[in-house]
Structure formats: C-alpha cells, structure tokens
Amino acid sequence: MSLFVSNDVVGSLNTLAGGLFLLCAFGIVTMRQVKGCLQLFIVQSVLLAASAVLLGVLFDSWHLLAVGMVNLIAKPIVIPWILRRTLHEEIYTRREIDQVVNIPTSLLAALALVILSYFLTLPLLQDAGAEIRGVNVPIGFAGLFLGAFTLAVRREAVPLLIGVLAMENGAFFAGIAIARDLPFIVELAIASDGLILVFVVGVLTRAIHKHVGSTDVGALAALKEGSGEEPGS
Amino acid sequence: MTLFAVLALPLLAAVVCWATRDRRVALASTLVSSLAVFALTLEVMFSVLADGQVTAIANAVAADALSALMLLLIAVVGVTAAFFSWGYMERMSNESGRLWFYYFNFNLFVFSMLAIPVLVEPTLVWIFVELTTLCSAMLVGFENTRAALEAAWKYVTLSLMGAAIALLGFLVLFAAMQAAGGDVYTWEGLVTAAPRMPPALLQTAFLLILVGFGTKVGLVPLHTWLPDAHSQAPSPVCAILSGVETTAVLYVILRMLPVLNGAPGLDAELWFVAFGLVSVGTAALLLIQVRDYKRMFAYSTVEHMGIILMAAGLGSAAAHYGALYQALTHTLTKSFCFYAAGSALLATGSREIGAVRGLIRRSPAAGAAVLLGGLAIAGAPPFAVFLSEFSIFRAGLAEGRYVAIGLLVLFIAIGFFAVLFHVNRMVFGKGPGVPSAVRLPASCTGALAVAGVLVVASGLYLPAPLHDLLQRAAAAMTR
C-alpha cells in the first residue's frame, strides 16, 4: 500500500500524530473551559484514528485501517452527540472550571508523568522492530497517566468523564502498535462499550445536577468515616 | 446450550422489564429468571464435574471448574437478592414509580457478571467487567439522594479509571502472547504460550491488570470508593456488590496466576501476597473505627478480598483450594450479612451502630440475623468462614510461610474483635428497648432464612460435588 509515499514519511507522520496526541493530553489537564476540554478530546481522538490509519499503511494491515475508521466514527462524532443530548447546558453554556492545584504545578506534574512513562516503557522496547512502538507505546502510557492525573485534579463531572475517555485513548494509542491483530469484533465491542460508558455517566451526571443542584462533584464529600448519616435508602 | 441459556435468561428478563415498565411484571420476571439461572448453573456444575469442561463456542464461550464455581456463586446471590429486593424495595424505596428500572438494571447487572466466567477471551472479559460497573451505577445511585449519588459517582469514576488501566494491561498481554508465537487469545492459549513470553511484557501486563482490576475488587490503597458504594446502595444490591461482584473481578486476576507461574523468572506470587496482606491489615484496622454497620460489612469485604488474594499467592494446590473455599464462604456469608443489615435498617431506620442498640429486643429477627451474620463473617467457629480461613492457615504452614501466615492471623484476629465489638453493641447494647412496630416483609424473612440456612449449613457440611468442584478449580489455578 505504500506506493505513494515512502515508509519513512509515514513513520514521521505517525511521530507527528503522536506528538500532537500528547499535546492534547496536556491540554485536557489544563484547559479552563468545559467545551475546550471536549474539543481537545475530539482532536485527540482524530489523532488516534490517524495514527491507526498510518500504522495500517505502514504494516499493510486492513485491520488497523478499520480500527481507525471505527475510532473516527465513535469518538469524534457519536460521543459528542450523546453528550449534547444528555448534558447540553453542562457543556455549551460558557463556563470557567477550576482545578485542585494551579496550572503551572499541574503542568510540571504532567511533565514528570511523561518522563516516567518513557522510562517505564523502555524495557518493553528492547527487541527488534521497536522504532514504531518506540513512538506509540511511551506516548500511549503517558496518555493513560495524564488521563488519570486529570481525574485527580478536576472537580467537575464532564471534565472527569473526559479524563476517563482520554485514558482509554492512551491505552488504544499504545494498543494499535502492539496488539494490532486483536480480533475486529473485540475492537467494535470496546468502541460500543465506550458509548454505553458516556451514556451512563451522562445520565448519572444529569441526576446529580437535578438532585444536588450542581455538577461540582468534587464538592460531594459527605461520605467519609465518622460522618453523620443521611436518612433514606 | 446451557451456557447460552444462562446468559439469555437475565437478558430476557431485562427486556421484559423495559417493555412492560410495570413493577409487578418486572419483579416476577426477575424472580423467575434468577431461579432458572440457578438451576442451569447447577446443571453446568454437574456437566463440568462429569466432562471437565462445557464448551458452547470453542475459544469464546466455555466453562471449566473455576468458571462453574463463579457461575454458581453469582446465581445463588442472584436468587436471594431478587427475593430480598421484593419486600425491601417496596418498603424502603422513595422511588417506587421507577421500580421497574431497578429490576431492569438488576437483570443487566446479573447478566454482565454471569458473562465474566463463561467468556474465555480476556478482552471480552474486560468488556463485561466494565459493563458490570455501568449496569450497577444506576443501582448504587437508585435512591437519588445526595449521598447515594456521591457514592455512585465515586464508584463509577474510580472503577472506570481502573478499567482503562486494565485495558492497556490486556493489550500488552496480547502483545506478549504474540511475541511468544501464540495465536489463540484465551486463558488456555495464554497458559500454553506463557513459557515463551518476554518477561518484561508479561510483568507489565500483570501489574496493569492487578492495579486496574484491583481498584474494582477494592484492594488497598484503591479501596476508597468501596465502603461508600457498598453502604449507600439498596441492601440487596450491596449483597451482590460485596458478595459476588468483587469476587467475579478477583476471578479475572486469579486467572492470570497459572500464566504468571508458567513464565520463568517472574515472582508474581509475591505481589499477590503483599497486596493481599496490605488489604487485610488496613481493612482490619479500619474496621475498628466504623460507625455505620453497612460500612463495617463493606470493610470486611476488603479484608476478605485480601485474604483470598494472599491465599492464591501462597502457591500450593492446598492454598488455592483454601482461596476458592474462602471465596465461596465469603459470598454466602457476606450476602447474608447485607440482608441482615437491610433488615436492621428496615426495623430501625438508621444505619448508625450507635443508634440501633438493643436490636434483639426491638426486632428479634433482625437482631438474630445481625448476630449470626457478624459471628459468621468474623470467622467464629463453627461457621464456614472459620473453616476456609483455617484451611488457608494450614496450607500456609505446610508451605513454611510463617511470617505471612502470622501476619494474616494477627489481622484476622483484629478484624474478628472489631466486628464482634460492633455487633455486640448493636444487638445487646443498652438501647431504648422499645419493640419496633415494623414487621419484616415476608419475602425479606424468606430470603434471610434461605441465606441463613446456607450460612449455617455450609459450616457443618460441604456437599461432595461442591468439594469436587473446588478441588478441580484449584487444580486449574495450580497448573
């Protein structure tokens, strides 16, 4: 399939996609608006799909091309659609959101996580053919860690959900390079699982908004040891 | 065919709930399907005992002894929880107009759990573990109170975070299998390929899966959501969450054990023992200071998950037998404990230990149930938990793991006294002493009686087929 461009060019494009993917993960940690978070997640998902397609060209694998297509439909199109249906006002009313730690500190911590993931994945890349995996695996791990970090520093429901989705993006970004023969049916099932995830969390967020009055889930901190009890249930 | 029927019945019941949106029809379909699933899992158990394995689709849907054991545990709690829900939800729920939705989610939740042991493809298993979270989220937050929604939110975000980590683990595991030249991504295929897997890949995969699914099992330090979710959910849901959901996810981690033992130079069992002991110890200390009796039983779940994980890491077939026996006794006893806690909540309307003193005078049935459940789960003889803990103790001594076993006994003893201290205050403490006007609904008393008989009987007598099943399941882990 590599008739038009050389493998080097495809490899470089994949590296570019990886770099931008990582940049998006940083943005999701620090973005000040709910809508901005969502848009960055969409861009990140497109980059994930692009990397899958590029690797598909590189390895002559129709399977990876199909994975890229599934990702391109499920994440940048269907997930925002579900969110718009369930949580419109949460996202599209212009709102500033806060973090538990300030932005420079969280950027530094995020940077440390990226370096950590690079060293953690070094032992996985010892054998032959590691050039491509050398891009995708450390960046995928970093995406996973940065998503988890987003969960730690965010307090609002929608950015937290996006943190979970960004973690899955990270897992897949590594996955397309190391597990590229995974049965296609499994990929489809995982993608539809992601849609159920967004739907359920969306409905739960709406219930919280309705019964608690805000989606600042970080402020929900009544349940701990020694606290009084609430009647009911 | 039986395996398909086991999966189809709860799904069918969920469709009925959704289609009719009537709480009576929803309840009836739930009761019928849970009883039928129980009968079918017994059939699966006997076919496994006869043939060693039941295969519906090769390399996709099959059950061996370990799977059959898990199916049986899920089905038993499914039946008792369905019957307990009947009276409990009618009486307690503020949301009685949405009860069909409760049963809809209940059936989906049971379906997603039943799928975990019968699927043999690890990534498909991952999908259903994630689905258990998504199907039970609405059950945990069903009452729509602030506390219930908070618990549901914590439960969902932490479990999904863990699931994403485990997903990467399963993808790395796939890469490890391919690097070893294996081509069937099943538990069996992994065991076969294990000796040739690159140790770095296998170890990374295992640690990601242990941390990811450990979050959902409630292993310390990732247990923080568990006491919230397992105390705020309606009591029959707590029984499922604590009794079988944690065990079903732990089953996935246990499936990794023969793979890890097949690979040379990995000291994976040390991780099992260390993670297990930390969980048991932390939970035992946290048990001392609880004020809410449902949280007490939730922390006890963390403790027991730690015991099972640690026993699985001791290595010998006898220890694996002990671990699975512990899973069995914990499931039977813990589900009963939550029915007892639900009855106490029905009788007194309070979840605080300090507010329900003298329960035995206020509601003899609830008081006796809490006493029985507390004694049984703390591990007092002659109950089954004592026997399973003792079998782990013996297996550990036979292996010469004196330090680990010594610590385990110490932590179990702390947990024992903590639970009995609280239960004693609840049941016999000086309280108002006014008999409660609340009579327990007949279905609740029935479910309590059935679960209670199972708790008592399992301590006195382990049926031969069950013993056989445990031994074969332990052998499957030991390979």
User: What is the DSSP code string of B409-441?
Assistant: HHHHHHHHHHHHHHHHHHHHS----PPPSPPPP
Q: Is A195 on the interface with B (CB under 8 A)?
A: no
In this model, does residue A231 exceed pLDDT 70? no
CB B176 within 8 A of CB B201: yes
Collect all residues of chain A within an 8 Å Cβ-Cβ radius of residue B146.
211-212, 220, 222, 230
Q: Is A152 on the interface with B (CB under 8 A)?
A: no
B415 exposure class (CB count in 10 Å sphere: 0-12, 13-18, 19+): buried
| pLDDT value, residue A128 | 47
Mean pLDDT by 10 residues, chain B (479 residues): 94 96 94 97 96 90 95 97 94 82 96 96 95 95 91 95 96 91 89 91 94 95 93 95 96 95 86 96 95 95 97 93 97 97 91 88 90 95 94 95 96 96 91 71 93 95 95 89
For A166, name the nearest residue in chain B, comparing CA atoms only: B164
- Given B123, B149, B291, which is nearest A211 (Cβ)? B149
Helical ranges in B263-363 per DSSP H: 268-288, 293-312, 317-348, 359-362
For B205, name the nearest residue in chain A, comparing CA atoms only: A124
Q: Is B149 on the interface with A (CB under 8 A)?
A: yes
Q: Is B91 on the interface with A (CB under 8 A)?
A: no
Taking an 8 Å cut-off on Cβ atoms, the answer to whether B234 and A201 are in contact is: no
Q: What sign for the dihedral angle of Cα B241, B244, B250, B255?
A: negative
Q: How many CB pairs under 8 A join A and B?
A: 156
CB B377 within 8 A of CB B307: no
- Given B168, B174, B185, which is nearest A144 (Cβ)? B168
What number of other Cβ atoms are within 10 A of residue B447's Cβ?
29
**Which residue(s) pair with B63 in the sheet?**
B54
ipTM of model over 0.85: yes
| pLDDT value, residue B456 | 95
CA B289 vs CA A74, B61, B292, B418, B476: distances in Å: 47, 45, 9, 8, 39
Taking an 8 Å cut-off on Cβ atoms, the answer to whether A231 and B121 are in contact is: no
**Which residue(s) pair with A156 in the sheet?**
A216
**End-to-end CA, chain B:** 28
| pLDDT category of residue A229 using cuts at 50, 70 and 90 | very low
Collect all residues of chain B within an 8 Å Cβ-Cβ radius of residue A201.
137, 156, 160
The percentage of residues in chain A with a pLDDT greater than 70, rounded to a whole number, is 91
DSSP class of B244: I
Taking an 8 Å cut-off on Cβ atoms, the answer to whether A123 and B291 are in contact is: no
CA B296 vs CA B75, B79, B325: distances in Å: 25, 24, 22
Q: Is B215 on the interface with A (CB under 8 A)?
A: no
How does pLDDT run across A125-135, given as a tens digit for each residue?
876 456 667 78
Q: Is B168 on the interface with A (CB under 8 A)?
A: yes
In whole angstroms, give the CA distance from residue B410 to residue A22.
Answer: 47
pTM: 0.94
Collect all residues of chain A within an 8 Å Cβ-Cβ radius of residue B168.
140-141, 144, 170-171, 174-175
Domain range list for chain A: 7-216
Q: What sign for the dihedral angle of Cα A82, A88, A94, A97?
A: negative
Collect all residues of chain B within an 8 Å Cβ-Cβ radius of residue A124.
172, 200-201, 204
* Cα angle: B124, vertex B129, B135; to 5 degrees: 120
Taking an 8 Å cut-off on Cβ atoms, the answer to whether A222 and B146 are in contact is: yes
Collect all residues of chain A within an 8 Å Cβ-Cβ radius of residue B171.
171-172, 174-175, 178-179, 182
- Given A124, A148, A196, which is nearest B161 (Cβ)? A148
- Assign 3-state DSSP to chain B and report helix, strand, coil percentages, each to 5: 80, 0, 15
How does pLDDT run across B41-59, given as a tens digit for each residue?
999 999 999 998 999 998 8
CB A1 within 8 A of CB A63: no
For B91, name the nearest residue in chain A, comparing CA atoms only: A233
For residue B10, say if its preceding peptide bond is cis, omega within 30 degrees of 0. Answer: no
How far apart are the CA of B71 and the nearest CA of chain A, in angstroms? 23
Largest Cα separation within chain A, whole Å, is 69
In whole angstroms, give the CA distance from residue B390 to residue B397.
Answer: 11
Collect all residues of chain B within an 8 Å Cβ-Cβ radius of residue A196.
131, 134
How does pLDDT run across A130-185, given as a tens digit for each residue?
666 778 999 999 999 999 999 999 888 899 999 999 999 999 999 998 888 888 88
Q: Is A83 on the interface with B (CB under 8 A)?
A: no
Residues of B (1-60) whose Cβ lies below 8 Å from A: none
Q: Is A213 on the interface with B (CB under 8 A)?
A: no
Q: Is A151 on the interface with B (CB under 8 A)?
A: yes
Q: Considering just the CA atoms, what is the radius of gyration of chain B in Å? A: 21
CA B358 vs CA B48, B362, B427: distances in Å: 47, 7, 5
How far apart are the CA of B162 and the nearest CA of chain A, in angstroms? 9
CB B159 within 8 A of CB B215: yes
Phi-psi category of A232—alpha, beta or left, where left has phi over 0 and alpha has psi -120 to 50? left
In this model, does residue A232 exceed pLDDT 50? no
How is residue B369 written in tokens?
């149930």
CB B143 within 8 A of CB B169: no
In whole angstroms, give the CA distance from residue A117 to residue A142.
Answer: 5
The percentage of residues in chain A with a pLDDT greater than 90, rounded to a whole number, is 52
| pLDDT category of residue A186 using cuts at 50, 70 and 90 | confident
Collect all residues of chain B within an 8 Å Cβ-Cβ radius of residue A229.
292, 350-352
Q: Is A190 on the interface with B (CB under 8 A)?
A: yes
Collect all residues of chain A within an 8 Å Cβ-Cβ radius of residue B141.
204, 207
How far apart are the CA of B350 and the nearest CA of chain A, in angstroms? 7
Domain range list for chain B: 2-478
Tell me what the mean pLDDT of segment A102-124 comes to: 92
Taking an 8 Å cut-off on Cβ atoms, the answer to whether A170 and B291 are in contact is: no
| pLDDT category of residue A233 using cuts at 50, 70 and 90 | very low
CB B331 within 8 A of CB B76: yes
Residues of A (34-63) whose Cβ lies below 8 Å from B: none
Collect all residues of chain B within an 8 Å Cβ-Cβ radius of residue A233.
92, 143, 145, 147-148, 232-234
| pLDDT value, residue A92 | 73
